[in-house]
Amino acid sequence: MNPLIEKLIGVADLSDQVIATDILMAAKAEIRNYAVAITESASPEVRQSLTQQIEEVIHFHEQISNYMIEKGFYHPHDVPKQLDQDMHIAQTALNLGNN
């Protein structure tokens, strides 16, 4: 098995959280990308498709962020707690790179 994946699995309690965070960040970036693309769209068919797709991505963002809040991975209403957790995850990432 890929040694990095082995290391990640070694922190199994974190790997679901890391993956869910990656999916959440991707959904956030995607919503921004769609919004920009919509401002560049000139044909009505494209605008309609992009508008429909951005709505689906927004709906997905709601689901993944609710999931992360339920799991205690994400604390949008408790900034100090979120910052604490972010520091913990950053340290874990630094440790992965260092050993």
- Site of interaction with another protein (CB under 8 A): 5, 8-9, 12, 15-16, 19-20, 22-23, 26-27, 29-30, 33-34, 36-37, 40-43, 45-46, 49, 53, 56-57, 60, 63-64, 67, 71
| Residue 74: how many other CB atoms lie within 10 Å | 20
Instruction: Select 23 or 75, whichever has its Cβ closest to another protein.
Output: 23
Which residues does 94 contact at the CB level (< 8 Å), separation at least 6?
none
Instruction: Select 60 or 85, whichever has its Cβ closest to another protein.
Output: 60
Which amino acid makes up residue 16? Answer: D
Min dist. Cβ of residue 50 to another protein (A): 8
